[in-house]
Structure 1
Amino acid sequence: MPSPLLRRLVSAALLALLSHTMIGAPASAGTGHREARPADEAFLGIRLLEIPANRMDDPRSHAFIVDHVNPGTTFTRRFEVYSTSAKPQHVRLYAGAADIRGARFTFAPGRTPNELSSWITLNRPAADLPAHGSAPVKATIAVPAWATKAERYAVIWAEVSSAGPDPRGNVALVNRVGIRVYLDVGPGGEPPSDFRIGGIVPQRTGDGQPKVVATVANTGRRAIDVEGQLTLSAGPSSLSAGPFPTDRDTTLAPGEQGEVTVLLGKVLPDGPWKFRLALRGGRIGHTATGTLTFPAKPGSWGPPASLDSPLTLALSLAGLVALVAAVILLIGLRRLRARQRIPAAGHLRGDLV
């Protein structure tokens, strides 16, 4: 039988693994974070119930608490915890520390606090959910007047667990879901957000699946979650494909650089392809276009994509504008000539149509 120390170590390792799985990637708008599960399996969920009017156009604000406030400000956000389980659930509620490292939104184990989590107060420490039930919760964030200028990160957690280790040495299982908090504090208006798309490299995974890796740099002064989609066109035999979604776990702190990846269908030929990569980080969006060719060998990298330069794009746009203007001018001339050929009233010929 395993020793008590071994059981505690296994339990702690399992808790850390489960917690990491639960909040790895941004959720879709209007939902909280939860582990991917079969459709018929019960899960615990969390979602925001209100969005600030001045952030309705920010996709992140539909899933996360994202704000900029002056020192000394207090504000609230309402959210909902829900369960699809056929059994009642006792859910513990608390705020914990988080950070951004290595282009990923990371969080501390258990109830580890940080400065931002210490400013968050929930109106209830727990909620007892009936079968398939839900409960509203209100979070109050009180920023002290002495708070220094900086962006801070935290997570508001909802957590359920089994009763605990049984006499046979089984470990307790913990399941928690969370809402990220991105809070920038400082006088004046909100700092700008922006990013830049760098090099784009086609690859094939070890099992031969095409993959595109794009380097992205956060050139703004707030953290961003980067996601988007890739579309292919003008491929072999004039094939088109996509759009293919990017991965959704790239979070960049100000000044940080990271990678955004796109997995594509295995049956795609090598190319060459024209591509359009459209990325968005909150309210900000940028697009890169060009030509790429996937390597033939699994587990290898292809040559970097040939990107369309801003000059090329500008010339293409100017050419399109000139073409539209020429078409409009041609239509106008034809109409003018047609009017000039119509005789005055009272002198119409019988064969005029």
Structure 2
Amino acid sequence: MLTAYAWTGPAPVQARADTAPAPDVPNSIAIGLTGIPASRLDDPRARLFIDDHVNPGTTFTRSLRVYNTSDRPQRLRLYAGAATIRHHRFGFPPPSAPGNELTSWTHLDHTALTVPAHAGAPLAARFTVPAWAQPGERYAVIWAQVSSEKAGPHGNVTLVNQVGTRVYLHVGPGAEPPSDFRVGPLRAQTTPDGHRTLTATVANTGQRAIDLEGRLWLTGPSNLSAGPFTITRGTTLAPGDRGPVTVPLGPDVPDGRWNYRLTLRSGRVTRTTTGTLLLAERPGASGRLASLTRLSTMPLTLVLAGIVSAALLVLTLAVRRRRARRSP
């Protein structure tokens, strides 16, 4: 069985354009970047994906490499496919779907390659942005695909594995627009099967798409500390969008009031939020932000009234007894 992976130099990326092991995994194919623009060396996302801002009328090239770690040669099909950001996820249609504006600007120097066993081959992607291109961000994936036939009960079945490197390309005059986001407070929840999760809503307040990753630290009762907990990756937000990030907790985190510190990052932008939360005590219940509980004054008033009444009764009985002793 052939496994598909994508790799981008020092930081590995997963099959179907997400994170995964590096290309030394046996019986796999992989694709990744082999060079990063000097202007983006400090951008962690540029190590994973083709992430650029250019002016209309610009032509540029990015270098990639495809890998084959299986024990036999692999014939790879190479192409650029359309991509979108929907429902807080970076998504892409099937290979047979039509392309988009960005794919029409993308030209690969090879549309097919035969890669020997345990070897790699270079691949160049040239992007030609027309002068009439309107400002905005476009998305695509550069795919490496391998197909094989396997006998089935109704004839041969074609098995297709493919891996890809994402492309985020912003077009517009002048300098690159800013990237930024805002993180809301955390909410705690215990699922019906007893798993604890923490969720925060993130708003993309910049003009570039963001891919969120991050960690959470907790300090709580009796000087306990927990973490770091890694957020569930895969949340991608388009400009102006908002969506949730989820942090799964271990089963050994006890109930109680906890202080949290959540740090999220996308590319060059890092944001940290802190606060207090109360972990849910019942499965399916949501924890609330910690607050001061006020006691009701009505029960206290009734108690004081009863004490005063009893004291008056005792005092009245004492006066009557004194008067009874003095009389003949």
Distance 1:85 1:305, change over 3 A: farther
Distance 1:59 1:83, change over 3 A: same
Q: Does residue 47 in structure 1 map to residue 32 in structure 2?
A: yes
Q: Does residue 31 in structure 1 map to residue 12 in structure 2?
A: yes
- 3-state DSSP of counterpart to 1:54: helix
1:204 is matched with which residue?
A: 190
Q: 1:192 aligns with which of 149, 158, 178?
A: 178
Q: 2:111 aligns with which of 125, 140, 147?
A: 125
Cα deviation for residue 63 of structure 1 reads 0.5
Q: For residues 17-166 of structure 1, what are the structure 2 equivalents within 5 Å?
A: 30-34=11-15, 42-111=27-96, 112-163=98-149, 166=152
What TM-score results when the alignment is normalised by the length of structure 1? 0.75
Cα deviation for residue 29 of structure 1 reads 5.7
Contact between 1:210 and 1:266, CA under 8 Å: does it hold in 2?
yes
Give unmatched runs, 5+ long, in structure 2: 292-328
- 3-state DSSP of counterpart to 1:222: coil
Q: 1:271 aligns with which of 256, 272, 286?
A: 256
Counterparts of 1:129 and 1:293 in 2: how far apart (Å)?
Answer: 55
1:319 is matched with which residue?
A: none
Counterparts of 2:228 and 2:216 in 1: how far apart (Å)?
Answer: 5
Letter of the 2:133 partner, please give it: A
1:223 is matched with which residue?
A: 209
Give unmatched runs, 5+ long, in structure 1: 1-17, 307-353
Cα deviation for residue 42 of structure 1 reads 2.4
* Residues 298-345 of structure 1: CA deviation (Å, up to 9, x unaligned): 333222478xxxxxxxxxxxxxxxxxxxxxxxxxxxxxxxxxxxxxxx
Distance 1:200 1:170, change over 3 A: farther
How many residue pairs align between the two structures?
283
Distance 1:49 1:163, change over 3 A: same
2:312 is matched with which residue?
A: none
Distance 1:126 1:153, change over 3 A: same
- State which structure, 1 or 2, has the greater radius of gyration over its C-alpha atoms: 2
Q: Does residue 284 in structure 1 map to residue 265 in structure 2?
A: no
Counterparts of 1:32 and 1:249 in 2: how far apart (Å)?
Answer: 12
- 3-state DSSP of counterpart to 1:146: coil
More helix by share: 1
* Residues 175-218 of structure 1: CA deviation (Å, up to 9, x unaligned): 11111100010111111111000131111233212211010000
- 3-state DSSP of counterpart to 1:203: strand
1:323 is matched with which residue?
A: none
Distance 1:195 1:102, change over 3 A: same
Letter of the 1:209 partner, please give it: H
More strand by share: 2
- 3-state DSSP of counterpart to 2:122: strand
* Residues 275-314 of structure 1: CA deviation (Å, up to 9, x unaligned): 10001121111101111122122333222478xxxxxxxx
Cα deviation for residue 147 of structure 1 reads 0.8
- 3-state DSSP of counterpart to 1:199: coil
Contact between 2:30 and 2:67, CA under 8 Å: does it hold in 1?
yes
Letter of the 1:30 partner, please give it: A
- 3-state DSSP of counterpart to 2:169: strand
* Residues 32-79 of structure 1: CA deviation (Å, up to 9, x unaligned): 332768x97522211110101111111110000001101110000011
Q: CA RMSD in A?
A: 2.4
2:279 is matched with which residue?
A: 294
Distance 1:298 1:88, change over 3 A: farther
Distance 1:299 1:170, change over 3 A: farther
What TM-score results when the alignment is normalised by the length of structure 2? 0.80
1:180 is matched with which residue?
A: 166
Counterparts of 1:127 and 1:40 in 2: how far apart (Å)?
Answer: 20
